[in-house]
Structure 1
Amino acid sequence: MATDIKDSVHAVEASSVMRLLPARPQLLALGEPTHSEDTLRELRNELFRHLVEQEGYRTIAIESDCLMGLIVDDYVTSGTGTLDDVMESGFSHGWFNASAPNRELVRWMRAYNDGRPASDRLRFAGFDGPLEMTGAASPRQALTALHGYLAARVEAELLPCTVDTLDRLLGADDRWTHPAAMRDPAQSAGQSAEAKELRLLADDLVALFDEQTPHLIAATSREDWDRARLYGRTATGLLRYHFWMADTSPARMTRLVGLRDRMMADNLLALAERGPALIHAHNGHLQRDKSSMRMGDLRLEWWSAGALVSAHLGERYAFLATALGTIRHQGVDIPPPDTVEGLLYALPEDRCVVDAPRLATALGDTRPAPRVSPWFDYSPLDPAHLANTDGIVFVQDVPQT
């Protein structure tokens, strides 16, 4: 069996990854089992550079706010703003803007694009919704941006409302972002009369946008139309998310985690139309199998963004899960030998790409034990997911940075 496992191991290079796959994917998803280690983002940067130089990839998308990501994209494509400002305002979830590898990625992309024609420039995207674990953003930015795009280009009588009406219904932004709303549905504005009216108006604005597509693309550009489409799906997604934040049924949290991944999937499918892209997020958002998590006594299960996108794209979606050996500075020591991580840790390579289906075949009926992590922020590889994973990026030891 050891020989069979060694035969499935390759260097972490774009060419090695491509040889694992039945076709060149439009979306190549690289998962990570924790958001806390810069070593994994350095590896992501290295792989992205290989994909750019050897495979013609031009887009990278990460698990960050899709609207904030526009700030980063404007900087890397045209130099708008400064690197310091972009790092401060272009990333969500706290840990991303402070990440040195994220800063290096943005700096390198801007340098790469300097002097290149628009068709050959690298692009950046966030593909998460404007959501945090503790709540969701106001729909104001997305909704008013979509309205403004339409108001400048279609007859006023076609619009379902004025921007003043939107402003009145939206009210103060802090009524949408109340920090207690995630745990207490009564604190959410998502099922107020104003919110319900906004959902209808957002739906009408998106419908008008779709109806006017030929005119809108001709009047502006496909690029501007794509951005307005992002505003539309973000506005409707946020209003839907806020509605379920106000729900009191047992399905509330399952609906919320499912809606978040649905918003991610919609953004990824739109990116797939642009050209091949590297996607980077937690393994749980990119896997083909159902995702799950426990919140107190409640176990949640939902279909991940990767599962949804894979159902649409088939072989044009590929998923590499990252697994780790040790993170000693977080109390994660050498994995037990009967786990997938333990089997890979015994190999001489300090980092490698493993053909996951071939590994599953080599293991046969021998099902590895699931690894248990002593650190809440590290999610070990689920051995039951091997067959639905195209490859495993294994890092033997993660140093403290």
Structure 2
Amino acid sequence: MSDVIDKTRQQPDFAVQREQMVERAIRARGVRQKRVLDAMRAVKREDFLPESLREFAYEDSPLPIEGDQTISQPYIVAFMVEALNLEGGERVLEIGAGSGYAAAVLSKIAGEVYTVERIGQLAEKAAARLADLGYSNVHVLHGDGTKGWPEHMPYDAIVVAAGGPKVPDALKLQLKIGGRLVIPVGTDPTVQELVRITRVSEQDFMREDLADVRFVPLIGEEGWEAERRRVRTPKPAEPTLPELIAESSEPFAVIEEAPLDRLLGRIAEARVVLIGEATHGTSEFYRMRERITRALIERKGFRFVAIEGDWPDAARVDHYVRHMDYPPSEWTAFARFPTWMWRNAETRAFVDWLRAFNAQRKPEQRAAFHGLDLYSLYDSIRAVLKYLDEVDPKTARAARERYGCLTPWQSDPATYGHAALTGQYRSCESAVTEVLTDLMKRRAAYAEHDGERFLDAVQNAKLVTEAERYYRIMYYGSRASWNLRDSHMFETLKTLLDFYGPQSKAVVWAHNSHVGDASATEMASRGEHNLGQLCRRAYGKDCYIIGFGTHDGKVAAASDWDGPMEIKDIVPSLSSSYERMCHDSGVSKFMLPLRGAPEALKAALREPRLQRAIGVIYRPQSERASHYFQAVLPKQFDEYIWIDRTSPVQPFATHELEGMPDTYPFGL
């Protein structure tokens, strides 16, 4: 009896999780129609998942089901249903029944739901499942979804859960006048724009673009042809891509002893070297990146390191490594999520090395350490006010009043963005811009006293201005906020290069997704650009980009934003990915030159393939949908460093820093 009780206690409370999902992942992100929220609350997502995945039912992510298909992310289901503008009682057609989950949600609002599924196994299981669960107003058909279900037309609304190259004419013609069709459309089978088509007359249709999305391909007569996707042009049997990689690679056994002379020769006189990472929590990536950076500073005179980290946090490190005369800070560097990304033994080793290296050099020759990112809204406000309090108290009073607009949102700036967007709170844009304008007007007077400190104040004021805008536009979709963030990082890098002079050189540390040229990835089809693309455009061959990859191992990452760090197993790379080609080369660690590589290798690598990106969040259960994207490796990077099996970074606790000086950036 006690065993039964224990097992019962271990069962997830799906009702609580479902309510939390609706509030946090759906309502908080802008879905407001009560009937849609009620439908999402009413349908048990766990009933539509394999037993092994039910514990993940209320994570806001797509999950795999039978037939290499996925059950859509709950937010996307709610977003698409809301886009249909249902009032209740309508006749709705769904294309892509999958597990039946979205049809069940629709059935809570519509009068009748007709759903078509291409894969027989899925159609059969969905029909049985929906019947068993009592969804009597849902009807399932096994067939070509691009042809619709004309026997029951016209429809008040049609929703398509797969991405096509165009909107199928057959579906448009099955709409009522005034009916709405919501469908993902794009020229790339893996990334699309969600659009809404409204039939305004017998022949006329109105189109609206709603959001960037990623769905499985729509296969059928008016979709992506199944045979064209399955059949590939035969490749010559020899040599294979893994063999070409092995032939051109420069193997090494141990990171600390990896030969760098040829790599430094390829970098040549580049002014900007961007060094990536395939995860935000892999020890080997950090250690190899730091080793290359040391060589660039020691042997090529690189002037500063610029990281994917916040300006004020990196400034604490900079003061320490350059032995600058600053009082101890009242706050800890890199203390916000994800703390392990920079507060780890690998970064600490580099910081300690850089301080020792700089101790032997004149102050004007010391290598600096800066941050490029824009998340530190309130630390930057504090830094601006502290600077103005010292150099111009009158202007400081005005700045404090202007920044006061943001004070109510200090603990959660994203909430400010939503409030400003919905009109519940005034925008602070003009107020924060005025502070930056005042600083720039007084540039000559302020910089005369201390150019370094003025640079710091201006960059913090710019960060506040951009961060205020970032948190407002993040609710418009990923494209706008992503582009603003990477543009800010690029402009900060340019400012630093200008400040240190025309002969200065920079090393950039950031994720592959930021440093690898976005124009060579599916990001371009979404209208996104990134730091690497902007650097290539500005510096041409004087920009050298290095990417990293791994097959499996362990990584430090969280399951959700603001969640605790976990040590997670990295799932072995997919068979169709660049990572699997590198793994199959049989070389466990290597550098692969891509700029000037043999033509046979470049030609083989030019075929777009999947590439993995693990950030601070890693969700292995939905890895294909959450962590892979299309890329063309030799156009994305100039060099690719491979480490087949990797291990997690090593975070440190504050007590490990006992005895360090008060100015030590990782302490209090």
Q: TM-score, normalised by structure 2?
A: 0.49
Does residue 121 of the first structure (1) align with residue 366 of the second (2)? Answer: yes
Task: Tell me if 1:394 matches 2:651.
Answer: no
Q: Is the 1:65–1:127 Cα contact (8 Å) retained in structure 2? A: yes
Distance of 1:222 and 1:254 partners within structure 2: 35
Q: Which residue of 1 aligns with 2:545?
A: 319
Q: Distance in 1 between matches of 2:569 and 2:472?
A: 40
Q: Answer whether contact 1:18 1:24 (CA < 8 A) is retained.
A: no
Question: Which ranges in structure 1 are unaligned for 5 or more consecutive residues?
Answer: 157-161, 294-298
Identify which of 598, 606, 610 aligns with 1:370: 610
Deviation at 1:243, TM superposition (A): 4.1
Say if 1:87 and 1:327 are closer, same or farther in 2 by CA, change over 3 A. farther
Name which of 385, 389, 394 aligns with 1:144: 385
Given that 1:75 and 1:82 are in contact with CA atoms closer than 8 Å, whether structure 2 keeps it comes out as: no
Shift of 1:186: 2.0
Deviation at 1:380, TM superposition (A): 5.4
More RCO (CA 8 Å, sep 6+): 1
Tell me, yes or no, if structure 1 residue 227 matches structure 2 residue 463.
no
Flag the 1:339–1:194 CA change in 2: closer, same or farther, 3 A.
Answer: closer
Consecutive unaligned residues of structure 2, counting only runs of 5 or more, are 1-238, 252-257, 556-567, 614-618, 650-668
Structure 1 CA distance, aligned partners of 2:648 and 2:513? 24
What residue in structure 1 maps to residue 402 of structure 2? 169
Counting matched residue pairs gives 374
Contact 1:356 1:390 in 2 (8 A): yes
CA RMSD of aligned residues (A): 3.7
Q: Offset of 1:276 from its aligned partner?
A: 1.6
Distance (Å, rounded) in 2 between the aligned partners of 1:190 and 1:124:
40
Q: Which amino acid aligns with 1:89?
A: A
Q: Identity of paired residues, percent? A: 18
Query: 1:244: Cα distance to partner?
Result: 2.8
Q: Equivalents in 1 of 2:437, 2:324: separation in Å?
A: 35
Match of 2:307, SS? strand
Residue type of the alignment partner of 1:362: L
Q: Specify which of 248, 251, 254 is matched with residue 479 of structure 2.
A: 254
Higher mean alpha-carbon deviation, 262-271 vs 90-99, is at: 90-99
Matched-pair contact (CA < 8 Å) for 2:551–2:579? yes
Instruction: Give the match's secondary structure for 1:256.
Output: helix
1:9 aligns with 2:249: yes
Structure 2 CA distance for aligned equivalents of residues 58 and 51 of structure 1: 9
Q: CA deviation at 1:86?
A: 10
Change (3 A) 1:123 1:87: farther
Distance 1:103 1:87 in 2: 17
- Aligned equivalents of 1:225 and 1:307: distance in 2? 29
TM-score (norm 1): 0.78
8 A contact 2:577–2:611 mirrored in 1: yes
2:301 is aligned with 1:56: yes
| Partner of residue 518, structure 2 | 289
1:303 maps to 2:529? yes
1:144-197 per-residue CA deviation (whole Å, 9 max, x = no partner) reads 356557738xxx7xxxxx432332332275523353835971267999557144
| CA–CA separation in structure 1 for the residues paired with 2:465 and 2:296 | 34
What's the CA shift for 1:278? Answer: 1.6
CA shift for structure 1 position 335: 3.4
Report the AA paired with residue 279 of structure 1: V
1:5-34 per-position Cα deviation (integer Å, ceiling 9, x unaligned): 34432255543223334x522211111111
Query: Which whole-Å CA distance do the structure 2 matches of 1:7 and 1:381 have between them?
Result: 26
Are 2:468 and 1:239 aligned?
yes
1:88 corresponds to which of 332, 339, 357: 332
Cα distance change on mapping 1:87 and 1:96 into 2, 3 Å: farther
Q: Give me the whole-angstrom Cα distance separating, in 2, the residues matched to 1:199 and 1:328.
A: 43
**SS state at 2:370 partner:** strand
Could you say which residue in structure 2 is the equivalent of 1:73?
318
Once the two structures are superposed, the pairs formed by residues 32-47 of structure 1 within 5 Å of their partners are: 32-47=277-292
- Going from structure 1 to structure 2, the CA distance change for 1:127 and 1:353 (only over 3 Å counts) comes to same
Q: Which moved more, 1:44-53 or 1:92-101?
A: 92-101
